[in-house]
Amino acid sequence: ALTSQVFEFQAQARQLLDLMVHSIYSNKDSFLRELVSNASDAVDKLRLEGLRDKDLDADISDLHIRLTPDSTARTLTVADNGIGMTRDEVIDLIGTVAKSGTDELRQKLAENDAKDAGDLIGQFGIGFYSVFMVADKVELVTRKAGETVGTRWESTGDGTYTLDEIADAPQGTAITLTLKPVDEDNAVNDYADQTVLRRLVKKYSDFISWPIRMLVVKQVPGEPGEDGETPEPTVEEVDEVLNSQKALWAKSSSEVSKEEYAEFYRHVSHAWDEPLETITLHAEGTFEYQALLFIPTQAPFDLFMRERSSGIHLYVKRVFIMDDAAELMPEYLRFVQGVVDAADLSLNVSREILQQDRQIRAIRRRLVKKVISSVQELQDRRPEDYQTFWSNFGRVFKEGLINDQDNAKAILKASVFASTNSETEPTTLTDYLSRCKPEQDVIYYMTGESRTQIERSPHLEAFRAKGIEVLLLSDPVDEVWVSSGLDFEDKQLVSVAKGVVDLDGDDAESTDEDKTKQQEQFAPLLTWLGETLTDEVSQVRLSSRLTESAACLVGDDFSMTPQLEKLYRASGQ
Ligand code: ADP
Ligand code: MG
């Protein structure tokens, strides 16, 4: 065609493609799930757009997805009549990897050998590009709803792709894969085989809410005529719907298998890992709603990136409304993925309405409590899974200690902290209290940049000598929540680096008399030090907190720790 143009993939995209072409990821079937998932998203979007824009020139009467295998040509086409893409969108969405975290992925891949690469890809989640695991050549024909001209994209997964303008593209997107040869040694399925496709759709995409159709040949037996003769059976092509389209969140959890939940999780989260925990909620009464939420196993690459969108999809009576309903989940639970289906919201509910809606606030309150109690349950019953959770999401979860006053106590209880009790095992506060002497009425902590740095501090000496356990807090977020005055079971959290720490209260050896004597003895030295250092320190006093070092610096009860000062300075305050 006249308009045919060759483009280069963006560098990052090329690298990801390379990974796919050389297919280090073992589960090649995943490509079908990704294509169907994208098609389903595209149909969701068109349906919404059609509701919003009555003048949109698009047919939304029979939205569906279609698989067309051709075993002779060895091709498979996955088509949808959804929203489609403009030419610019094709370049942006298919030619580039906009996904944040790509740099990190590349860096990790450079450091790791191919064996771990599969894991990394699983963690990162590869969408459309996964087609190159199974195809030598991919053609994508698309027309955006409301537009007249379509776009044809083609690539063999090397560094380039071509774009053409086409006049007669049907609305939506059709992706045709020219399949690689079937490799039985590598257990690669024949994706042009209807039986294989039927099985894979059932396994990966059964819950997709739009029909996934495939034309199949059916023999229709002839009706015996009046003459008693039965004519030859005729062969007809009929549409078969491959998926049951059942909304998993509407079912009771006993009816749904672990695998079904996992596939649904992968669809809503665009991730490739397993859910660590599945949370279901069916609320009846004033507000009727259902929720199906997941805590992922692996942290997504963009967990700490500002532009990250919420993982909660909002439905109203089984109809998809939006895929980042941030109003339903606070930021400190931003790793939670899933679906909330509210029965009483209007179908054209807007983001502005969501922000003010009393029902949404009530649902959110309930979901938050449910997620926190699920974390607590992991801690109580599944220590290994809890550990996975904590190493991936603990730092995020702890943000709730600052931002969610109502639930801070529950969050504190469900958290763990490094402490002087063990080199490797973090402790719950409950366990901390169970170990300390009955007369200890506070919880001691020290903050710093790392465990090693904290452990070198002279502030810890006396505590170590007396066998008093101290929490060692080294996440930036710890600085902030410890200074917010939270207590646990009526015990204040007290920094060993601040103010006067009275470690002698229970110590018979050191009497008040001893103390007075010491004070007198050291008075001249203290006065001299105080005068000499008058610009540097506000007070010089005797301390019982040191056993080996001669002196140390402490903050006032209300002063900032050095780390917090740094944090504020870094943020420009
Ligand atoms: P993700 O689905 O996680 O965004 P993908 O690589 O699967 O990543 O897809 C990239 C983007 O390409 C999608 O976000 C979507 O905007 C667009 N896209 C992919 N497939 C389709 C499709 N069938 N119809 C419309 N847009 C699509
Ligand atoms: Mg996708």
Index of the ligand 1 atom closest to the CA of residue 129: 6
Residue 32, pLDDT > 50, answer yes
| ipTM passes above 0.95 | yes
According to the model, what pLDDT value does residue 352 have? 87
Per 3-state DSSP, the chain is made up of helix, strand and coil in percentages (nearest 5) of: 40, 20, 40
Lowest mean pLDDT among 104-118, 260-274, 475-489: 104-118
8 A C-beta contact, residue 172 and residue 84? yes
According to the model, what pLDDT value does residue 507 have? 47
* pLDDT band at residue 569 using 50, 70 and 90 as cut-offs: low
Measured CA to CA, the distance from residue 426 to residue 289 in angstroms comes to 37
According to the model, what pLDDT value does residue 520 have? 77
According to the model, what pLDDT value does residue 516 have? 75
Local structure of 363: helix, strand or coil: helix
Nearest partner of 445 among 425, 470, 416, judged by Cα: 470
Higher pLDDT, 557 or 329: 329
Per the DSSP assignment, residues forming a β-bridge with 306 are: none
Ligand 1 center to residue 128 CA distance, Å?
7
Q: What is the mean pLDDT of the chain?
A: 87
Helix (H) or strand (E) holding 342: strand 337-342
Local structure of 304: helix, strand or coil: coil
Ligand 1 pocket by Cβ (under 6 Å): 34, 38-39, 42, 80, 82-85, 93-94, 127-128, 173, 270
pTM assigned to the model: 0.82
Within a 10 A sphere around the Cβ of 110, how many other Cβ atoms? 8
* pLDDT band at residue 549 using 50, 70 and 90 as cut-offs: low
Ligand 2 center to residue 393 CA distance, Å?
24
Lowest mean pLDDT among 115-119, 146-150, 464-468, 538-542: 115-119
Nearest partner of 81 among 61, 67, 63, 106, judged by Cα: 63
Please name the residue whose Cα sits nearest to atom 14 of ligand 1. 93
Mutate to test the pocket of ligand 1, among 33, 41, 144 (most ligand atoms within 8 A of CB): 41
Nearest partner of 482 among 563, 401, 376, 568, judged by Cα: 401
What's the rounded mean pLDDT across residues 221-228?
Answer: 82
Percent of the chain whose pLDDT exceeds 70 = 87
According to the model, what pLDDT value does residue 58 have? 92
Beta strands per DSSP E along 362-468: 417-419, 422-427, 442-447
Residue 99, pLDDT > 50, answer yes
According to the model, what pLDDT value does residue 333 have? 96
Mutate to test the pocket of ligand 1, among 9, 32, 93, 269 (most ligand atoms within 8 A of CB): 93
According to the model, what pLDDT value does residue 573 have? 43
What's the rounded mean pLDDT across residues 87-92?
Answer: 93
* pLDDT band at residue 508 using 50, 70 and 90 as cut-offs: very low
The number of angstroms, rounded, from the C-alpha of 303 to the middle of its chain's C-alpha atoms is 7
Strands 312-316 and 337-342: what pairing? parallel
8 A C-beta contact, residue 285 and residue 140? no
Rg (CA), the chain: 31
Find where tokens 């495939």 sit.
214
What's the rounded mean pLDDT across residues 432-443?
Answer: 93
Residue 452, pLDDT > 60, answer yes
Ligand 2 center to residue 132 CA distance, Å?
14
Find where tokens 């006032």 sit.
556
